[in-house]
Chains A and B, each alone.
Chain A
Amino acid sequence: DAGVIQSPRHEVTEMGQEVTLRCKPISGHNSLFWYRQTMMRGLELLIYFNNNVPIDDSGMPEDRFSAKMPNASFSTLKIQPSEPRDSAVYFCASSLGQGLYNEQFFGPGTRLTVL
């Protein structure tokens, strides 16, 4: 069984460049979550989707961040323009079901470094 797939695993870019992070959730899962992890702030929820519809994007830092989920098997998180403070590990997670016990399955993360 393939888990959550994220690409790229590592991204190094220069300030001002556009960055696109990609996520493929587990097949059949109907919720997708984007988190950002930094030493200072820990794991922060950026945005989540239910059935491909964005439900809560209040965690998105600013207009430079955008996320899409065009279909049930693909999501992107875009940063344009990128800044050094965006350097972090970005996790995508997916889950299935309506109960409280919905384990969120995490992808391996994308380590982003903005120079």
Chain B
Amino acid sequence: AQKITQTQPGMFVQEKEAVTLDCTYDTSDPSYGLFWYKQPSSGEMIFLIYQGSYDQQNATEGRYSLNFQKARKSANLVISASQLGDSAMYFCAMRERSGNTPLVFGKGTRLSVIA
């Protein structure tokens, strides 16, 4: 079974609009962390935002926020005021339990911002 599911292969958004990228996860571990990475066309992986399973509040980092719904096991990324430079692949990832265990990634969503 997939640990991380991103159901939107591609999304379009108008510049300056907000967009939500979906991510659902599967774990029986009560302690886990959720991450979002951005991969522009140049190929590098850029960390955006983190949410811990015990965090009471939704994480925010500038124009990025995470809509964390624990009961639904969803961790959607919200990008506000989209910019042309936001066009990229976006990956949701999860780490279960503490320790230097690896991130497990979803298949990604390609976001295209239209002027």
A contact set with B: CB distance below 8 Å = 30-31, 33, 35, 42-43, 45, 48, 50, 56, 89, 91, 93, 95, 97-106, 108-109, 111
Contact = CB atoms under 8 A, between A and B. Distances in A.
B12 interface: no
A102 B95 contact: yes
B98 A99 contact: yes
Q: 6 closest Cβ contacts across the A-B interface?
A: A31-B100, A106-B45, A100-B33, A43-B105, A42-B107, A48-B102
B100 A103 contact: no
A78 B51 CA distance: 35
A105 B28 CA distance: 26
19 contacts: A30-B100, A33-B103, A35-B105, A43-B91, A45-B102, A48-B101, A91-B45, A97-B100, A98-B98, A98-B99, A100-B32, A100-B53, A101-B33, A101-B52, A102-B100, A103-B35, A104-B47, A108-B44, A109-B44
Contacts of A56: 102
Contacts, number: 58
Given A101-B33, A102-B95, A103-B35, A45 B43 contact: no
A104 B103 contact: yes
Given A31-B100, A48-B102, A108-B43, A42 B108 contact: yes
B98 A100 contact: yes
